[in-house]
Amino acid sequence: MDDWARFLDAMRQSRYFEAHDCLEPRWRDTGSPRVQVAIWFAVLLLHQTRGNVVGTVRVQTKLRHRLRELAAPQTLQGVAAGVPVNGPAVCRALAGAGNWVGGWAGRATRTAAGVMRTKGAEDVANEPGSRGLLGGRRALVLGVANKRSLAWGIAQAFAREGAELALSYRRDRVREHLGQWVQDWPTPPLLVPCDVMDDASVAEMGDTLAREWGGLDAVVHSIAHAQPGDLAGRFVDTSREGWQVATETSAYSLALVARACLPLWEVRGGGSLLAMSYIGADRVVPNYNVMGVAKAALEASVRYLASDLGPSQVRVNAISAGPVKTLAATGVQGFSSLLHQIADRSPLQSGITIDDVGNAAVFLASDWARRITGQVLFVDAGYHVTGV
Ligand SMILES: NC(=O)c1ccc[n+]([C@@H]2O[C@H](COP(=O)([O-])OP(=O)(O)OC[C@H]3O[C@@H](n4cnc5c(N)ncnc54)[C@H](OP(=O)(O)O)[C@@H]3O)[C@@H](O)[C@H]2O)c1
């Protein structure tokens, strides 16, 4: 057992002196303020169990101030503010905050033998009961319209790698289809309604997931929409309304979803958010027009969100996918010629599939990508590196 696991074990068994001693050498080595606050939690509980009111209040005040300064997960801030401090809740919050305390602390988990240990990337695949890179993870995937959707490729890859899923839908007809497609999955996904053009609907989705799951590890945003007339002809003719519809649905919604999911990630000590982009964000693609502008806004949002959510150990990335014949894509005039171009001109001389996108998404949501955030990963057979 490493020192974080020993610390958690001692905390759970109310051996606060011992817990303090487990982390003290690491704090002296690193000077990390996050390790220091973990130690203060042990001291706080020690004072409280001994009935030392003055000591309890002093440490609690210091802790609350420091946790705010360090933008600690809400769960930690919440339990530190409790009166009287609730020992089991502190232990739960600290166990979930391993990633926030430090990469070395990882995620604490309890093995079959009941021993606390930390979970690294290699452990995820080997964990008893785990079926793959996302074993034990809970993921929300937004944007399955049908079996051609990129989101469907991602949902299938996530399920294959052991994730438990929630799928969102906007229209009742899609809900009926989804229900049929997933009925023989070993763990049937939650189906939650969500229209990203409606703030209340997004907030309600967050509430439903909080009620059903408590916390969340991965979120995939695979949503875009533009008025049909705006994906043909000249960009210069885009209407104000067309601009608003495209950027609000396809880019602003990423921040909206992130806001609703933040408390759920924090319960789990961090997580990941993934968006779907296209090369039209950087280069002029005929007829892509206002959607190219929306994708540029989406990619910039990925970077700003990566910065905002990083302290909560939430990683934010995008996949820039090559063209795939989906419902949304066929709305772009002349789309089928793009499909041929990528196969003819990409270094790998092939198109891409929703499975390719799904596999890349698994990587970005997994612990193997645990130090990757704010990135746009091209899954386009290398097309983006070509000149002419
Ligand atoms: N296909 C490609 O070539 C390609 C390439 C690069 C990037 N992408 C991106 O990949 C993502 C997924 O698109 P796709 O190609 O897989 O097409 P798709 O199957 O048509 O998926 C688009 C999804 O967006 C949803 N959506 C639209 N407006 C919404 C709203 N207000 N609230 C909630 N959901 C809404 C749609 O739901 P409804 O069915 O209810 O409308 C649909 O599920 C998009 O961001 C797209 O730009 C696609």
Count the Cβ atoms, other than its own, within 10 Å of residue 225. Answer: 18
Q: Does one domain contain both 79 and 163?
A: no
Q: Does one domain contain both 146 and 283?
A: yes
Q: Separation of 42 CA from ligand 1 center, angstroms? A: 48
* Closest residue by Cα to residue 137 from 159, 113, 118: 159
Q: Does one domain contain both 17 and 78?
A: yes
Q: Does one domain contain both 114 and 142?
A: no
For residue 131, being part of any structural domain is answered with: no
CA distance 181 to 248: 30
Atom of ligand 1 lying closest to residue 250 CA: 45
N- to C-terminal Cα separation, the chain? 56
Q: Distances in Å between the alpha carbon of 109 and those of 16, 30, 218, 265, 324?
A: 20, 24, 18, 16, 39
With DSSP H G I counted as helix, E B as strand and the rest as coil, what are the percentages for the chain, rounded to 5? 55, 10, 30
Q: Does one domain contain both 92 and 159?
A: no
Q: According to the model, what pLDDT value does residue 331 have?
A: 92
Active-site residue flag, 304: no
Q: According to the model, what pLDDT value does residue 131 have?
A: 55
Atom of ligand 1 lying closest to residue 338 CA: 3
Average pLDDT over every residue of 120-142: 66
Percent of the chain with pLDDT over 90: 61
- Best substitution site from 140, 146, 170 to test ligand 1's pocket, by max atoms within 8 Å of Cβ? 170
Q: Does one domain contain both 301 and 366?
A: yes
pLDDT over 50 at 166, yes or no: yes
CA distance 234 to 170: 30
Put simply, whether the predicted model's pTM sits higher than 0.85 gets the answer no
Active-site residue flag, 288: yes
Ligand 1 within 6 A of CB of 278: yes
Q: Does one domain contain both 31 and 77?
A: yes
Q: Does one domain contain both 40 and 154?
A: no
Q: Does one domain contain both 82 and 151?
A: no
For residue 374, being part of any structural domain is answered with: yes
For residue 252, being part of any structural domain is answered with: yes
Q: Does one domain contain both 195 and 95?
A: no
- Predicted confidence band at 227 (pLDDT cuts at 50, 70, 90)? very high
For residue 132, being part of any structural domain is answered with: no
Domain boundary among 61, 84, 119: 119
For residue 321, being part of any structural domain is answered with: yes
Q: Which domain CATH number covers 230?
A: 3.40.50.720
Averaged pLDDT of the chain: 89
The number of domains in the chain is 2
CA distance 212 to 208: 6
Q: Separation of 291 CA from ligand 1 center, angstroms? A: 12
Q: Does one domain contain both 90 and 154?
A: no
Helices 3-12 & 87-96, crossing angle to 10 degrees?
Answer: 160
Q: According to the model, what pLDDT value does residue 231 have?
A: 96
Q: According to the model, what pLDDT value does residue 205 have?
A: 97
Span 12-40, pLDDT tens digits = 888 888 888 888 888 878 888 899 899 99
pLDDT over 60 at 109, yes or no: no
Q: According to the model, what pLDDT value does residue 119 have?
A: 43
**Residue 80 region by backbone torsions, left for phi larger than 0, else alpha for psi between -120 and 50, else beta:** alpha
Q: Are 309 and 273 in contact (CB under 8 A)?
A: yes
For residue 169, being part of any structural domain is answered with: yes
Domain boundary among 65, 90, 119: 119
Atom of ligand 1 lying closest to residue 322 CA: 5
pLDDT over 90 at 169, yes or no: yes
**Smallest CA separation from ligand 1 atom 19, residue:** 149
For residue 124, being part of any structural domain is answered with: no
For residue 186, being part of any structural domain is answered with: yes
Q: Which domain holds residue 110?
A: 3-119
Average pLDDT over every residue of 326-346: 90
Q: Separation of 3 CA from ligand 1 center, angstroms? A: 45
Q: Does one domain contain both 185 and 262?
A: yes
- Best substitution site from 326, 338, 355 to test ligand 1's pocket, by max atoms within 8 Å of Cβ? 326
